[in-house]
Chain A
Amino acid sequence: DGGITQSPKYLFRKEGQNVTLSCEQNLNHDAMYWYRQDPGQGLRLIYYSQIVNDFQKGDIAEGYSVSREKKESFPLTVTSAQKNPTAFYLCASSPASWGFYEQYFGPGTRLTVT
């Protein structure tokens, strides 16, 4: 099956710990994205990558870091510097970083930090 996988579905961490969320796609898409979703809010962009070994900050990048060493993988690290990390995190991919292409979303990871 082709698609985007995010693991785990639920993640619990203690305050002060870094945590890495996994995102893998087998769609051969060039572009990948991380969004954060809070109750009653739209999706807000954290980071995006248009090509391997390159990525750009989104609107709320502070306290997060990413890497794009392989085309199919775009992990997100939530660092202890992120003041309010509890949220639903969504990864997406798109065939290209230009043109009119649909963004495909993964099932999401719900992170709870206490």
Chain B
Amino acid sequence: GENVEQHPSTLSVQEGDSAVIKCTYSDSASNYFPWYKQELGKGPQLIIDIRSNVGEKKDQRIAVTLNKTAKHFSLHITETQPEDSAVYFCAATVLSGYALNFGKGTSLLVTP
């Protein structure tokens, strides 16, 4: 089955800096890659997703890039703010309606 590796497990940045989280996947058939943000004690919320026919997608301060050849995708957060502090999960699947295969998460801390 699909195996998703996520790095780093923890990341600390200063407010205003950029943060990058990287994930690799094993199944070349995977074609949908969402990123979720989870705040303490809450369920994850989708922040951005990308399909395999797109190399990059941006939504304000958040962007995701996908390299299908290398089987890795990354989350980029620019101009970080303290409210960006949370755990971020990447995931991969063949179709989004099927169960997602999650990475182990990255705990991001943005210090003022």
Which residues of A approach B to under 8 Å, CB–CB?
Answer: 4, 31, 33, 35, 40-45, 48, 50, 58-59, 90, 92, 94-108
Contact = CB atoms under 8 A, between A and B. Distances in A.
Given A96-B97, A101-B96, A43 B42 contact: no
Q: Which 8 A-B pairs have the closest CB atoms?
A: A105-B43, A42-B102, A97-B97, A42-B104, A43-B102, A45-B99, A100-B96, A98-B97
Which of the four size classes fits the interface of chain B? 20 to 34
A40 B95 contact: no
B104 to A, nearest CB: 4
Given A90-B43, A105-B45, A108-B43, A58 B95 contact: no
Contacts, number: 71
A13 B31 CA distance: 40
Interface of B: 1, 4, 6, 9, 32, 34, 36, 41-46, 49, 51, 89, 95-100, 102-105
Contacts of A31: 97
A50 B97 CA distance: 9
10 contacts: A4-B43, A31-B97, A35-B102, A40-B104, A42-B102, A59-B1, A101-B96, A102-B34, A102-B49, A105-B36
Contact of B96 (A4, A48, A58, A99): A99
B51 A100 contact: yes
Given A90-B44, A98-B95, A102-B34, A42 B105 contact: yes
Contacts of B46: 102-104
A107 B38 CA distance: 10
